[in-house]
Amino acid sequence: MRTAASLWVVAVLVMAPVGAAAQATKVITPPPPSPADTATRGLASNEEGQPPKLPPLPSGMTVDLIVTGDSLFHTKGQCFACHGADAGGLPDAGSALTQGLNFVPLEWGPIDALIAGGIPEAITRSAIRMPPKGGKSDLSPAETRAIAAYVWAISQTRGEPWPGGHVTHVALIPPGSAGGTASATPAR
């Protein structure tokens, strides 16, 4: 924002009339910042910049499916082990899923395909791969689809503002099971 405002001021100064009288009567007011420029400024997390409610659900997605995916994310799928109890990401493990996945289209099929196929270690940008079909690789197609619905939903809104949603999942996760793979001391 600062860079844009600075460029605007320079452009006004270069294009403004040179005469002292013209400059004395000209008031330079920078344009107001757009909501996009200030959406996450000063917030504790990127998720706080998300909208407070879900957009319209994609065809075939229901709130019940999202709630089922939530349960699977935090149990059988073991997604929380890398992405964190509240899907905010963990160091050297899994990316945050709650901060607006810019690559997520209105369709949720690509998320389902990603969960079903996994991600090789070489492209996860962490020390581990994302296993296909969950932590034990035993999720059914219906289960990966439910988790994909949940991931789509949490990537589209702040918190879980739907019936059956949670403020936090921290209490549901076994202690020590979601610490990520990064160590406090770098290996030498």
Report which residue type is found at 135.
Answer: G
Token pair for residue 33?
């910042």
Q: Which domain holds residue 86?
A: 47-172
What rounded mean pLDDT belongs to the chain?
A: 73
pLDDT tops 60 at residue 161: yes
The answer on 145 and 91 residing in a single domain is: yes
- Structure confidence at residue 118 as a pLDDT band (50, 70, 90): very high
Q: Tell me the pTM.
A: 0.69
CB 93 within 8 A of CB 181: yes
The answer on 57 and 26 residing in a single domain is: no
- Residue 132: CB atoms within 10 Å: 15
The answer on 63 and 144 residing in a single domain is: yes
**Domain presence at residue 178:** no
Strand locations in the chain (E): none
The answer on 151 and 115 residing in a single domain is: yes
The answer on 52 and 122 residing in a single domain is: yes
- Structure confidence at residue 103 as a pLDDT band (50, 70, 90): low
**Domain presence at residue 28:** yes
Work out the average pLDDT over 64-85. Answer: 93
**Domain presence at residue 74:** yes
The answer on 27 and 93 residing in a single domain is: no
| Cα distance between residue 30 and residue 9, in whole Å | 7
CA–CA–CA angle 166, 172, 178 (5° rounding): 110
